[in-house]
Amino acid sequence: MNLSNDDVRDILRLLDSLPFAELHLETDGFRLSLRRTADGEWTQATEVLSTSAATPDEETAPAPAAAAEAARDGLLEVRAPLLGTFYRAPRPGAEPFVEVGTVVQEDSVIGIIETMKLMNSVPAGVRGKVVEICVGNAEFAEQDAVLMLVAPEESSASDEPPGEEGTA
Amino acid sequence: MILRRILIANRGEIAVRIMRTCRRLGIETVLAASAADLDSVPARLADRTVRVGPAEPGASYLDVEAVVAAAATAGADAIHPGYGFLAENPRLAAACEAAGIVFIGPSETQLAAVGDKVAAREHAVAAGLPVLPGGEARHLGAARRLAEEIGWPVLVKAVGGGGGRGMKQVHDPDELAHTIELATAEATAAFGDPRLYLERFVPSGRHVEVQLLGDGERVVHLGERDCSVQRRYQKLVEEAPAPELDETVRTGLHAAAVAFGEHLRYRGAGTAEFLVGPDGFYFLELNARIQLEHTITEEIYGVDLIAEQIAIAEGRPLRPLAATPSGHAIECRINAEDWTRDFRPSPGTVTEAEFPIGDGIRVDTHIQTGARIPPYYDSLVAKLIVRGADRADALAKLRGALARCEIRGVETNLGLYAELAEDAEFVRGGIDTAWLPRFLEEFTGAVRG
């Protein structure tokens, strides 16, 4: 059973004439809570309860690739700033932003994470040489998942390689 | 024919919205859901849910064959595509026809005519509508010539785009080559169509659109909606009627939209979008589907547009509808995004969802406590719609209603609307599309400063 908005309004009209500030209603498939706020207006919280019509399968949420334990001694981690689909290249068929061996600066773009139809570029955030790519192209990454491992550059700022890599 | 079972090829609030009308009309609903949505509120509400594919929209909600196969298996008479996904895809309309299933929307030919934005411009001109100077840019040389002709700055648009997607401004002739290259690649990836066209870029104007209904013979309008509160071409607040609009412009827009619909012998619900500038208005595009903001038209015309879509799909002639609106309606799109951090998306699990209820307040949503908001789809979680006797009354209702919205577990842009509802310029009404970016800049500046 489901209540229509009109049904709920009828209930509200009834409640307005009564001294109650809350109403909780539960049926087999439905839960409704009405609450009177300080200004005398009402809020509703509804819950449609689960039926066994279809069972979600878990393939939708693959385990976050390569969790933090991969952090090997001395390596820096590039983590996903938000969850979504990780892309290594600016568009299908294009060269990846970085490969193993690429030297990155803090602001070098190392990939894109698509979340809710928005493309968010992921800066390395660290400086060094990419030694491992932990999440493959078009794979799902949880927030904070380690995307890449970077070996810090020991070299001083004066003998940095020319900065042609990275930033797309 | 009478439709008895409809497959809804969509998700989120619009799936719930379509089900509400179906239930009222005694029509059975089958939801075609991706693996990520099998336990969603629409899946719980549907009479039956069919899995159409994995979470990735390309392999589920955008898969024409999977959707039509699901409808055939479930014994559905018709498919309602909602908005987005396959709603304006002529291939779905064609596949439905081939399978003997009713497509709740315009004909394949009409979808193709307005989906191709260059063709749509040509139809608009043929119907006597004003359009912005522009045209197709088949290659860089042509684009350069065209841009010189129409004057800088120009807007590069994808022929297969629309709905604010696939547009780029070019202010400097030196940027053109790079932008064309980037836009071609993006248009190919996003719309499967690399073609581009140029239009004169108008920095500020109002976005006003007209709701149409057609039965293939007759076309009527249900007034206009003002959707000028936009960020990066995405609408955030809509209201109807358009406030502070010159009456000649208003009736001109209505007449132009109807003329376009009549020219196409349009069948179904559609929206003609216009840019209203200081010197007149220009046709932008026709959205051949139900729109997200159809709700505010429903509120002031007392009509159920989904029911009208279904009636038209059943082959009925247009029914008598209110000729004039009554009152004023405003809609806010509540998105799971952190508006204080550059609108960063915020998928996750809703831990609490409480909404206002009362006269003149409507909330269309698919979220509730425990609902998961997956990262694969857009960030809309609810639409808050208020209706008042006039605009001042609607704004007062909006402030009260916003104060009673409580969504926890994910970030939302509710706070932005609370600020907007108090802003003097917004309250005065009649703002243009440049207003919100300016407001946000000033607001974040004030917070940082």
Per residue in B18-28, pLDDT (tens digit) is: 999 999 999 99
Q: Cα angle at B234 between B265 and B231, to 5 degrees?
A: 145
How far does B188 lie from chain A, in Å, by closest CA? Answer: 10
- What are residue B252's phi and psi, to 5 degrees? -65, -40
Residue given tokens 């290249």 in the structure block = A89
Q: What percent of chain B has pLDDT over 70?
A: 99
How far does A45 lie from chain B, in Å, by closest CA? Answer: 5
Best mutation target among B30, B85, B373, B376 (most A Cβ atoms within 10 Å) is B376
DSSP state of B131: B
**Separation CA A34–CA A32 (nearest Å):** 7
**Separation CA B234–CA A117 (nearest Å):** 12
Distance of CA A115 to the CA centre of its chain: 7
With CA atoms as reference, report the closest residue to B225 among B324, B330, B304, B323.
B330
pLDDT band at A90 (very low <50, low <70, confident <90, very high): confident
Following DSSP, what letter does each residue of B99-119 receive, concatenated?
HT-EESSS-HHHHHHHHSHHH
Q: What percent of chain A has pLDDT over 70?
A: 76
CB B43 within 8 A of CB B31: yes
How far does A126 lie from chain B, in Å, by closest CA? Answer: 22
- Residue A163 confidence (pLDDT) above 70: no
| Whether A73 contacts chain B with CB within 8 A | no
**B270 DSSP β-pair partners:** B212
- Residue A1 confidence (pLDDT) above 80: no
**Separation CA B291–CA B164 (nearest Å):** 13
DSSP state of A55: P
Q: Which H or E run includes A121?
A: strand A118-123
Say what the pLDDT of residue B189 is: 76
DSSP state of A49: P
Helices and strands in chain A: count of H runs, count of E runs = 1, 11
Size of interface A-B (CB pairs under 8 A): 113
- Residue B406 confidence (pLDDT) above 70: yes
Query: In 3-state terms, what secondary structure has residue B353?
Result: strand
Output the CA–CA distances (angstroms, integers) from residue A111 to A8, A106, B156, B219, in the order listed: 49, 13, 26, 49
With CA atoms as reference, report the closest residue to B224 among B291, B311, B142.
B291
Say what the pLDDT of residue B72 is: 96
Mean pLDDT, residues B239-257: 98
pLDDT band at A73 (very low <50, low <70, confident <90, very high): confident
Show contacts of B398-402: CB within 8 Å, 24+ apart.
B398/B330, B398/B332, B400/A39, B400/A41, B400/B356, B401/B356, B401/B358, B401/B361, B402/B332
Say what the pLDDT of residue A12 is: 85
Q: Cα angle at A45 between A44 and A48, to 5 degrees?
A: 130
| pLDDT 10s digits, A110-124 | 999 988 888 888 999
CB within 8 Å: A54 and B353? no
CA closest to B187 among chain A residues: A91
CA closest to B343 among chain A residues: A118
CB within 8 Å: B48 and A92? no
Mean pLDDT, residues B215-229: 98
Q: What percent of chain B has pLDDT over 90?
A: 89
**Separation CA B267–CA B352 (nearest Å):** 41
Query: In 3-state terms, what secondary structure has residue B216?
Result: coil
Say what the pLDDT of residue B444 is: 81
Output the CA–CA distances (angstroms, integers) from residue B173 to B146, B168, B329, B337, in the order listed: 11, 13, 43, 35
- Residue B446 confidence (pLDDT) above 90: no
**Separation CA A147–CA A81 (nearest Å):** 10
CA closest to A10 among chain B residues: B358
Mean pLDDT, residues B64-88: 97
Contacts of B192 (CB under 8 A, 6+ apart): B160
Nearest Cβ partner of B404 from A29, A41, A51? A41
Nearest Cβ partner of A50 from B44, B374, B378? B44
Nearest Cβ partner of A37 from B36, B379, B404? B404
Q: How many CA atoms lie within 13 A of B338 on its CB side?
A: 12
CB within 8 Å: B369 and A45? yes
Check: complex ipTM more than 0.90? no
With CA atoms as reference, report the closest residue to B275 among B200, B194, B367, B175.
B200
| Whether A91 contacts chain B with CB within 8 A | yes
Quick one: tokens of B377?
């789809």
E-assigned strands of A49-108?
76-79, 84-87, 103-104
**Separation CA A90–CA A103 (nearest Å):** 18
